[in-house]
Amino acid sequence: MAANTKIASAVQILCVIAYKGSGGTTAEAIARSLDTNPVVVRRMMKDLQRASLVEIRPGKDGGVQLRREPDAITLEDIHEAVEGHASVFALRPGGNPKCPVNGHMKSALPSIFHAVDEAVAMRLRQTTLASLSRPIA
């Protein structure tokens, strides 16, 4: 499967905001760090705003700032903001409804896949934005 770079982008966006301090920053400045288009940054900032991680001030003197302290934002929060409750693994749809193996897959795999997602969430929860942004000189 293609590994997902969305969380890395979102973490970098939030680290730039944390690095810039309480005055906040702009989508343009963040885009220079990621070397991408500000449109890409703004799209992702909307997801982060929806999850109450950032506050976007519109207008000429607008910008973006964190809504919580960096030590109150975990990678799990960031992951959920940009991916929702996405699963790592999923059942394959369809299959032969008359086959007992196929039926058993549909009943047995979901709890295993859910436990995998829980393991991922638990690991992400152990890292805060502060631990990533603090060491940046």
Q: Given the rule CB under 8 A, which residues bind its own copies?
A: 1, 3-9, 11-12, 15-16, 19, 32-35, 75, 83, 86-96, 99-102, 104-105, 108-109, 112, 115-116, 119-120, 122-124, 127, 132-133, 135-137
38 near 28, Cβ under 8 Å? yes
CA–CA separation, 82 and 16 (whole Å):
17
The answer to whether the CB of 23 falls within 8 A of the CB of 57 is no
Nearer to its own copies, 72 or 88 (CB): 88
* CB 36, min distance to its own copies, A: 8
Q: Which is nearer to its own copies, 58 or 92 (CB)?
A: 92
Amino acid occupying residue 111: S
Per-residue tokens: 13: 């966006």
Do 27 and 42 meet the contact criterion of CB atoms below 8 Å apart? Answer: yes
Least distance CB 49 / its own copies (angstroms): 20
- Give the residue with the Cβ less far from its own copies, 59 or 77: 77
Smallest gap, in angstroms, from Cβ of residue 135 to its own copies? 7
Q: Which element (helix H / strand E) includes 81?
A: helix 75-83
Q: Whole-angstrom Cα distance, residue 116 to residue 119?
A: 5
Q: Which is nearer to its own copies, 72 or 119 (CB)?
A: 119
Q: In the bound complex, what is the minimum distance in angstroms from residue 59's beta carbon to its own copies?
A: 25
